[in-house]
Amino acid sequence: MMDFIISNLLTLILFTPLLAVLVLILLPGEQKSLLRWTAFVLSLIPLLLSLVLWFEFDPNQAGFQFQYKLVWYSALNSSYHVGVDGISLSMVLLTTLLTPLAILASFTIEDRVKVYMALFFLLELGMLGVFLSLDLLLFFVFWEFGLVPMYFLINQWGSEKGEREVWGGAKMPARVYASFKFMVYTMAGSLGLLLAIQMIGGVAGTFDILELYQRWTSLNQPLFGIQIGAVKSIAFWAFAIAFAIKVPVWPFHTWLPDAHTEAPTAGSMILAGVLLKLGAYGFLRLVLPLYPYESKFFAGALAFLAVMAIIFGALAAYGQDDFKRLVAYSSVNHMGFVVLGIAAAAFAADTLDANIALSGAVLQMFNHGLSAAGMFFLVGVIYERTHTRNLNEMGGLFPLIPVYGGILIFTSMASLGLPGLNGFVSEFLVVRGSWPIFTLYTALAMIGLFFTGAYILKGIKQVLHGPLNEHWIGHVSEINARELMVIVPLMVLILAIGVWPSWILGVINNAAAALLAGL
């Protein structure tokens, strides 16, 4: 039994969510409570399995572990090939951890619980698939597939208020607008990726990522009557733009505030917690190893965009009156550090600084997953009580809800990068690694960090401090036990990484070193 689980661990992790969907379909639709608890319990299975994976994983062994390969699309020489290294392992853990928490956070959903939960599992399937795939075609399959459940989650369970005017003067509900924008923006962004994948697969005759690492990079004949360098540069940008949209890197970020704001709380948690990481993961798994030369060549440009994301993300967040929008822009800001670290690592792959920057970037992905999910959840908690997200209408709530207030401050501080909490560790590593490589950009990013403090403090002040809005007395209740169950694990991890980061950093660092060694 255990042997079977170990040898098929990745497949089990990947497809347990699908099993959960089938189970949910068979349950009666009216029994909401049953559906919720079943979904929650089922979502714990992938988490348990990935914990098994975590402990079975050998951090000192280079390369991909737990590989499994099965022919999938024979004519195109594409196979179901999965495997993990330290980077994907941490992402898998993040995904399987956040999904149960998001489901737990969704217990207040009353409308079509069954479909809602099923969509969550499909979303988990898509995300895990991306992290586990070692086949380019399979990667794309899961990459695109994840969009669908997210679209419906925003479109159907998103916030019910708000209208957006589209061109032509017609009005549509904001969530419809946001979900449409999310879908089309991301799909359009993936078109280049799709074309490039087709081209690479067609030219190389395989879609296996490990084989492509060799074949594609060693290609030096002209293609399509064009210099190979030009072809590769174009393909590099096709990849980079698709992933940059997902991250999102300034100036491709405009879908994000809308989607985050309109999504249901749990959707935002997953969106910020995991979905954005897909883009960064794409850079790590595909862009850097497949285009080492181009990555180095264009790293400066990427770093520039990252710094822009850090600064503008922070400024934009500061300018928001909508609490959820504020948190949404903070994601742009934080993910900027991830990209900065990646760009730095790509530019000087053979240095120790690169290793530090890259490890920092991966850890930042993990950390942002924790803190952003927490922040969105906390926004959701307050929204459920006040039914507004307008910061100006809140104020002085600390005395009413002291526990919530404490948690909010704690999570905000993690986001801000307070030493002792996780955000500090990863941002420090990124800055430390990037400084010798991109000194100017890093310096500018530090200025961005200053604004980060500003908007975080603004959020805390507007919600918790200042004069109490009398209106809320009697309406706003304290955070309840179920909600605590959601936030406490996140807080524990935030603290754990902040105090003793090496348990996870060890895994990440080895993988980062292996990745850089391959360039």
Strands of 199-355 (E only): list them. Answer: none
CB of 221 to another protein, least distance (A): 14
d(CA 440, CA 402) in angstroms, rounded, equals: 42
In order, the DSSP letters of 92-115 are HHHHHHHHHHHHHHTTT--SSHHH
| Sequential DSSP letters for 316-344 | HHHT-SBHHHHHHHHHHHHHHHHHHHHHH
Q: Which of 73, 213, 297, 428 binds another protein (CB under 8 A)?
A: 73
Largest CA distance in the chain: 73
x/- track of binding to another protein for residues 429-448 (CB under 8 A): --------------------
Residue 325 CB, shortest distance to another protein, in Å, is 23
| Residue from 93, 109, 137, 307 binding another protein (CB under 8 A) | 137
CB of 471 to another protein, least distance (A): 31
Alpha carbon distance 104, 56 (integer Å):
28
8/198 with CB nearer another protein: 198
Per-position x/- string for 141-180, each x denoting binding to another protein as judged by CB under 8 A, each - no binding: xxxxx-xx--x---xx----------------x--x--xx
116/134 Cα distance (integer angstroms): 30
Q: Looking at beta carbons only, is 187 or 514 nearer to another protein?
A: 187
Residue nearer to another protein on the CB measure, 167 or 224: 224
Q: What is the DSSP letter of 133?
A: B
> Residue 390: phi, psi to the nearest 5?
-75, 120
Q: Is 254 in the site for another protein (CB under 8 A)?
A: no
Encoded tokens for 144: 């695109």
Residues 208-237 binding another protein (CB under 8 A) are: 224-226
User: What's the burial of 485, exposed, middle or buried (CB within 10 Å: 0-12/13-18/19+)?
Assistant: middle
Instruction: State yes or no: residue 1 binds another protein (CB under 8 A).
Output: no
Q: Which listed residue (47, 203, 242, 382) binds another protein by CB under 8 A?
A: 203
Candidates 89-97, 186-194, 306-314, 462-470 — which segment interacts with another protein by CB under 8 A?
186-194
Number of residues that bind another protein (CB under 8 A): 37
Q: Is the dihedral of CA 219, 223, 225, 227 positive or negative?
A: negative
Smaller CB separation from another protein, 30 or 58? 30
Residue 179 CB, nearest approach to another protein (Å): 8
Among 8, 108, 198, 351, binds another protein (CB under 8 A): 198
Least gap, CB of 193 to another protein (angstroms): 10
Which of 33, 74, 218, 220: binder of another protein (CB under 8 A)? 74
Sign, CA dihedral 97-101-104-108, equals: negative
Task: State the Rg of the chain over Cα.
Answer: 22
Tell me how far, at minimum, the Cβ of 421 lies from another protein, in Å.
38
Q: Around Cβ 60, how many Cβ atoms within 10 Å?
A: 7
Single residue of 199, 454, 460, 495 touching another protein by CB under 8 A? 199
* Among the listed residues 134, 120, 127, the one whose alpha carbon sits nearest the alpha carbon of residue 92: 127
Calculate the CA 266 to chain-centre distance.
13
Binding residues for another protein, per CB under 8 A? 71-76, 137, 140-145, 147-148, 151, 155-156, 173, 176, 179-180, 183-184, 187-188, 191, 194-195, 198-199, 201-203, 224-226
